[in-house]
């Protein structure tokens, strides 16, 4: 698949505010935060979206996202992954948004 800006972050070719990493994934603050806490969790493997990732990778990034949310947002948080143009996916590398630190609306826009 095509390289993306997130591939450059993984390879440290461009800077990012990294808050967590392990052998399978990286988590960093979103450049355009939509909430006081807005972290992106991405696998090192460049799957295009959640439909392409294997279960172990998807499970791992979701687990890391949930742990980061629980650590930083004691009153609750939201995990989101956008898939495709109508959902607003702008980077074609699987990423889980961790959003929290304020009350959320439902349904999302």
Point out the residues that are catalytic: 95
Q: Does residue number 51 form part of the binding site for ligand DGP (CB under 6 A)?
A: no
Q: Exposed, middle or buried: residue 65 (CB in 10 Å: 0-12, 13-18, 19+)?
A: buried
Q: Which stretch binds ligand DGP (CB under 6 A): 24-32, 49-57, 67-75, 98-106?
A: 24-32
Shortest distance, position 75 Cβ to ligand DGP, whole Å: 22
Q: Does residue number 50 form part of the binding site for ligand DGP (CB under 6 A)?
A: no
Among 19, 50, 62, 91, binds ligand DGP (CB under 6 A): 91
- Buried-exposed string 14-32: b where 16+ CB fall within 10 A, e elsewhere: eebeebeeeeebbbbebee
The binding site for ligand DGP (CB under 6 A) comprises 5, 16, 28, 30-32, 40, 82, 88-91
């Amino acid at each position: 698949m095509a390289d993306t800006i997130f591939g450059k972050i993984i390879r440290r070719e461009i800077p990012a505010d990294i808050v967590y990493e392990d052998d399978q994934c990286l988590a960093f603050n979103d450049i355009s935060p939509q909430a006081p806490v807005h972290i992106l969790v991405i696998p090192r493997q460049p799957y295009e979206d959640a439909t392409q990732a294997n279960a172990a990778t998807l499970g791992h990034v979701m687990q890391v996202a949930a742990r980061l949310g629980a650590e930083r947002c004691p009153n609750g948080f939201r995990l989101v992954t956008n898939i495709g143009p109508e959902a607003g996916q702008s980077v074609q590398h699987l990423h889980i948004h961790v959003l929290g630190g304020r009350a959320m609306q439902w349904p999302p826009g």
